[in-house]
């Protein structure tokens, strides 16, 4: 049994929060850098150029990529052969987020109560999803989620008879309704299956996958490719001002579901799509 002090989790998340708010992940850098080659609209090309310039300034001057530094979403994969010592893991995760946002001078956007809306002043608590996995490692994935795009997300409880065509229609409807509000070009995470809450978590986790990759299931890979093409034919374009590049990627994840249901979660993210992982 391997022991891991939770202080290492705190330290890792502090560094991750600061890093990913200042510099895009390699996959998103590549997609954004190549996006203007496919854009046909002169205005769209100009906007994409400005976005790339913004990314470079953020990296060079260590200022946030976006003023909305998001609500921290953490996926914690805990190896079953790890013994966590030195404190409570949830406290350690939130302390890492607190340190990252306070010491990194990142915007604090979390309120303690959804109705009373008093700011917690340190961007905690994080939204944490735990899973127990094989091995003796802890993998942390952090995704600071801005709410311009988060507010555009949807869950559809489809009938099984609607099938894959119903899924496509749901995704395209969500993107059309989002329009410019999600800060395109966007990345679209799609979760199919499970239950009401499971498909939403699948969609959220799909956004943390390497955006240059495809699902290993052949029909799902084909669905990702088709949806990206259909979304980019909508004409929404960069910043919603028209053009070809409405989305940079579509990531789809699936899960078994009930015979009577076809849940579909759609979690939209803006062009920065911040995600970073560390293994301890």
Please state, for a pLDDT cut of 90, what percent of the chain lies above it: 99
Are 212 and 113 part of one and the same domain? no
- Residue 18 has a pLDDT of 98
Residue 16 lies in a domain: yes
Residue 90 lies in a domain: yes
Are 217 and 95 part of one and the same domain? no
Residue 152 lies in a domain: yes
Are 125 and 86 part of one and the same domain? yes
Contact between 45 and 36 under an 8 Å Cβ cutoff? The reply is: yes
Are 128 and 197 part of one and the same domain? no
Quickly state the pLDDT bin for 212 (edges 50, 70, 90): very high
Provide the 10 A C-beta neighbour count for residue 79: 18
Length of the chain: 280
Are 152 and 141 part of one and the same domain? no
Quickly state the pLDDT bin for 1 (edges 50, 70, 90): confident
Pick the last residue of a domain from 145, 167, 201: 145
Residue 36 lies in a domain: no
Residue 89 lies in a domain: yes
Are 10 and 101 part of one and the same domain? yes
Are 248 and 207 part of one and the same domain? yes
Average pLDDT, the chain: 97
Residue 38 lies in a domain: no
Pick the last residue of a domain from 93, 116, 145: 145
Residue 27 lies in a domain: no
CA-to-CA distance for 196 and 264, rounded, in angstroms? 8
Pick the last residue of a domain from 123, 145, 167: 145
| Count of the separate structural domains present in the chain | 2
Domain range for 126 is: 2-20+65-145
Q: Is 223 left (phi over 0), alpha (psi -120 to 50) or beta?
A: alpha
Are 169 and 79 part of one and the same domain? no
CA-to-CA distance for 79 and 76, rounded, in angstroms? 10
- Residue 36 has a pLDDT of 87
Quickly state the pLDDT bin for 153 (edges 50, 70, 90): very high
163 Cβ contact list (under 8 Å, min separation 6)? 262
- CATH code assigned at 268: 3.30.1330
CA-to-CA distance for 92 and 14, rounded, in angstroms? 10
pLDDT in tens, 39-78: 999 999 999 999 999 999 999 999 999 999 999 999 999 9
Question: Residue 208 pLDDT > 90, yes or no?
Answer: yes
Contact between 183 and 247 under an 8 Å Cβ cutoff? The reply is: no
Are 153 and 266 part of one and the same domain? yes
Are 7 and 140 part of one and the same domain? yes
Q: Per DSSP, what are the bridge partners of residue 82?
A: 2
Residue 185 lies in a domain: yes
Are 176 and 81 part of one and the same domain? no
Question: Residue 132 pLDDT > 90, yes or no?
Answer: yes
Are 96 and 131 part of one and the same domain? yes
pLDDT in tens, 23-39: 999 999 999 999 988 89
Question: Residue 264 pLDDT > 90, yes or no?
Answer: yes
């Amino acid at each position: 049994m391997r022991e891991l002090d939770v202080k290492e989790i705190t330290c890792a998340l502090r560094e991750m929060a600061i890093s990913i708010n200042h510099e895009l992940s390699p996959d998103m850098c590549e997609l954004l850098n190549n996006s203007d080659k496919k854009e046909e609209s002169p205005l769209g090309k100009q906007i994409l150029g400005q976005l790339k310039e913004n990314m470079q300034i953020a990296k060079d001057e260590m200022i946030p990529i976006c003023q909305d530094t998001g609500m921290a979403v953490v996926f914690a994969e805990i190896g079953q052969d790890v013994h966590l010592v030195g404190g409570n893991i949830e406290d350690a995760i939130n302390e890492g987020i607190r340190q990252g946002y306070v010491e990194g001078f990142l915007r604090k956007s979390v309120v303690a109560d959804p109705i009373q809306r008093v700011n917690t002043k340190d961007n905690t608590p994080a939204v944490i999803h735990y899973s127990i996995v094989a091995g003796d490692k802890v993998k942390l994935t952090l995704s600071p989620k801005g709410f311009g795009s988060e507010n555009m997300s949807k869950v559809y409880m489809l009938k099984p008879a609607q099938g894959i065509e119903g899924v496509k229609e749901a995704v395209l409807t969500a993107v059309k309704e989002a329009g410019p509000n999600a800060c395109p070009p966007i990345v679209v995470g799609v979760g199919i299956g499970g239950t009401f809450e499971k498909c939403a978590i699948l969609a959220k986790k799909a956004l943390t996958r390497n955006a240059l990759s495809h699902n290993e299931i052949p029909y799902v890979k084909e669905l990702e490719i088709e949806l990206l093409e259909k979304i980019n034919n909508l004409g929404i374009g960069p910043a919603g001002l028209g053009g070809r590049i409405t989305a940079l990627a579509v990531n789809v994840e699936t899960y078994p579901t009930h015979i009577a249901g076809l849940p579909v979660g759609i979690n939209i993210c803006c062009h920065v799509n911040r995600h970073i992982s560390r293994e301890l």
